[in-house]
Every structure is written in structure tokens, then in C-alpha cells.
């Protein structure tokens, strides 16, 4: 089940969106979201996976 979830997330991952989100949420060194990792998956797709 976990492997299927990981596979689904990887299939929906969008590198370009992830880069934008990482800048928006300030994930750089010393910033408030330092170290957070984004896959670039939209909220509607996240909700579909959660169901």
C-alpha cells in the first residue's frame, strides 16, 4: 500500500511546479520553511489521492 502511494505521488510530481512552490514557501537556508521538499502536486490531485 505504501509503495503504491509513493508510486502514485511520483507519477503526479511536477518538477517545474515544485521549484515555484519552493520559492514561494521560502525553503532556502535560514528561511521559515528551510528543508521542506515539494513534489509539485496540486491540491485537487492531493485530495484525489487522499480519498
Closest CA to 46 of 14, 12, 4, 16: 12
* Crossing angle between the packed helical segments 43-50 and 2-12, to the nearest 10 degrees: 160
| Residue pLDDT tens, the chain, 51 long | 899 999 999 999 999 999 999 999 999 899 999 999 999 999 999 999 998
Q: What is the pLDDT of residue 3?
A: 95
Task: Decide: 8 and 49 in contact? Cβ < 8 Å.
Answer: yes
pTM of the model: 0.75
What is the biggest distance separating any 2 CA atoms in the chain, rounded to whole angstroms?
Answer: 36
Q: What is the pLDDT of residue 24?
A: 93
Q: What is the pLDDT of residue 12?
A: 95
Amino acid at each position: 500500500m505504501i509503495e503504491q502511494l509513493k508510486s502514485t505521488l511520483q507519477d503526479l510530481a511536477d518538477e517545474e511546479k515544485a521549484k515555484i512552490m519552493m520559492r514561494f514557501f521560502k525553503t532556502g537556508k535560514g528561511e521559515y520553511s528551510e528543508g521542506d521538499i515539494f513534489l509539485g502536486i496540486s491540491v485537487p490531485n492531493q485530495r484525489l489521492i487522499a480519498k
